Amino acid sequence: AQSVTQLGSHVSVSEGALVLLRCNYSSSVPPYLFWYVQYPNQGLQLLLKYTTGATLVKGINGFEAEFKKSETSFHLTKPSAHMSDAAEYFCAVSYNTNAGKSTFGDGTTLTVKP
Amino acid sequence: DTEVTQTPKHLVMGMTNKKSLKCEQHMGHRAMYWYKQKAKKPPELMFVYSYEKLSINESVPSRFSPECPNSSLLNLHLHALQPEDSALYLCASSQDGRLGQPQHFGDGTRLSIL
């Protein structure tokens, strides 16, 4: 079955430190990959997406992610964490074999310490 | 500011009540979605409408009844809900539901069943 796994349900970093949130997918067909962020009492907001083309994708708020087919990964990074980055982050994947539905990972809660 | 507007933001209802959740978007999107999200969990897909026609029903109980009156509006009619239906209900839209399109989410309706 095709799925997406986010390693680490909680990640804590200091302000100014590197943010690394991990996402791995399992698929026998090319995936479409997304990262969303959810702030408290809000809906999900798209950070970035990979469909085809360049494997390093830049998104909003200084985030970027790299699609690595050999590692079936799409990890999210940001060079320097801000307090405002504290939120829930979801990796999502869709395939042309599941009617285009998006499958979400379980989420990673990012805490930023002052 | 979210481009997908959901009303009401909060709803408390008894198990015998009938209520409706409303979602509106003016981005010209032709695919609209309902998700259910429990605390600290990823969104779970409930329904998908494509060009005002129901295209996906994820085996949702009949006490939830979706309606898409036009391309901008999506309703979710609720009747005889159970306490376990308490959750955040998210509406989303995408351009036309094809692969690789990100979804735009509203901020949700927080539903509590007494």
* Calpha distance B88→B17 (Å, rounded): 18
- Which of A36, A100, A109 is facing B97, going by the closest CB pair? A100
For residue A85, what pLDDT band results from cuts at 50, 70 and 90?
A: very high
Calculate how close chain B gets to A2, using CA atoms only, in Å. 16
* Calpha distance A85→A76 (Å, rounded): 13
Residue owning tokens 């479409």: A32
Calculate how close chain B gets to A42, using CA atoms only, in Å. 4
Structure tokens at A52: 């085809």
pLDDT, mean of residues A7-21:
97
Is the peptide bond between B61 and the residue preceding it cis, with omega within 30 degrees of 0?
no
Nearest alpha-carbon partner for B19 in B72, B70, B85, B84: B85
Calculate how close chain A gets to B14, using CA atoms only, in Å. 23
| 8 Å CB contact of A106 and B99 | no
Averages of pLDDT over each 10 residues, chain B, 114 residues? 88 93 95 95 94 93 96 96 96 86 93 94
Residue A76's CB is within 10 A of a number of other CB atoms, namely 24
pLDDT digits (tens, 9 = 90+) for A22-77: 999 987 777 899 999 999 989 999 999 998 888 999 999 999 999 999 999 999 99
pLDDT, residue B2, reads 63
pLDDT, residue B8, reads 97
pLDDT, residue A31, reads 86
B93, B102 Cβ separation under 8 angstroms: no
Residue B8's CB is within 10 A of a number of other CB atoms, namely 13
pLDDT above 70: residue A97: no
Residue B91's CB is within 10 A of a number of other CB atoms, namely 28
- Which of B42, B99, B103 is facing A96, going by the closest CB pair? B99
pLDDT, residue A1, reads 61
pLDDT, residue A42, reads 92
- How far, CA to CA in Å, does A97 sit from each of A15, A28, A43, B34? 41, 10, 27, 21
Contacts of B106 in chain A (CB under 8 A): 43
A102 versus A91: the higher-pLDDT residue is A91
